[in-house]
Amino acid sequence: MKDITKNKKMNLLLRSWLLALPFIIMGCTKIDNSTGSASLTIVNGINGNSTVLTNFQPLGPKGTFESPLQYYSKANRIGYGTSWKSGSYVRQVSLSLFAYPDTTTIRWQGGFSLQNGGIYTLFLGGDTTSIDTLLSMDQIPYYPVSDSVSGMRVVNLIGGSQPVAINLANTTANPDFSNLGYRQVSGFKQYDASSTGPGTYSFEIRDQTSDSVLATFDWSYTIFKNNTFVIIGSEKLAGSQPIQVVVINNF
């Protein structure tokens, strides 16, 4: 009788353990809950005043598009000195850039991988005969309300340029950004944005070697927020364009 009772208890314990096993395994398993598409901003700094149309349809095995592209309804037009932003891309992305209005000409095509939830910027430089690209995964700083600051960074897309330095106007001794070569992205730098701050900062872009001023720009900041300043144009290449700055809100 005692053996029968003992066996029943053993069976009951075994059954309870088997029922609990799936929950034990789930508790010990790391679950990847990462979701969300990546954000992608494209900046057009292609020397030659070139407007491009984007095509995100993947290419087929023969290098042709899997389905015809109707530009008037699907393409995003990005003019020179402007940017375009979307937040609907996940993992592997195919991109082709077409000339405008001659949409039979492909300026550039390629692909890249985006992480879920990542923030990316694709910078377009060079000229219409040879487009340079720079894909940046952006780490945007966060500023708590206890810090009355704003942030900015600088990207050098000046065609054929030497490294540049950026300083506050009339303060050349200690540049805010220095030795920034072509297709280089600086880190974010904090500036005072308190109630006693200036409201607007004025900057000079200088040739690092000659110290000559290439261009100037103003930054009217927003407290707790960040901006990217993309320097485009060229003074040395054929068909050159004046140097100017494209401002991106990294809000």
Residue 40 maps to which CATH number? 2.60.40
Q: Residue 183: pLDDT above 60?
A: yes
Q: Domain for residue 103, yes or no?
A: yes
Q: Residue 26: pLDDT above 50?
A: no
> Which one of 118, 138, 158 terminates a domain?
138
Q: Domain for residue 29, yes or no?
A: no
Q: Domain for residue 7, yes or no?
A: no
Is the pTM here over 0.85, yes or no?
no
Q: Domain for residue 27, yes or no?
A: no
Which token pair is 138?
């952006």
pLDDT band at residue 40 under the 50/70/90 scheme: very high
Q: Domain for residue 28, yes or no?
A: no
Averaged pLDDT of the chain: 82
Q: Domain for residue 21, yes or no?
A: no
Sheet order of strands, 213-220 included:
177-180, 164-168, 200-207, 213-220
- Structural domain count of the chain: 2
CB-based contacts of 157, cutoff 8 Å, min separation 6: 43, 45, 123, 124, 125, 134, 182, 183, 230, 231, 232
Which token pair is 162?
């030497």
One domain, residues 129 and 172: no
> Of the segments 15-29, 69-83, 98-112, 190-204, which one has the largest average pLDDT value?
190-204
DSSP collapsed to 3 states, 171-189: CCCCCCEEEECCCCECCCE
One domain, residues 156 and 246: yes
Query: Once rounded to an integer, what is the mean pLDDT over residues 17-46?
Result: 59
One domain, residues 197 and 234: yes
Domain containing 204 equals 141-251
Could you report the per-residue pLDDT of 75-133, keeping only the tens digit for each? 789 999 999 987 667 778 888 898 888 888 889 988 889 998 899 999 999 998 899 99
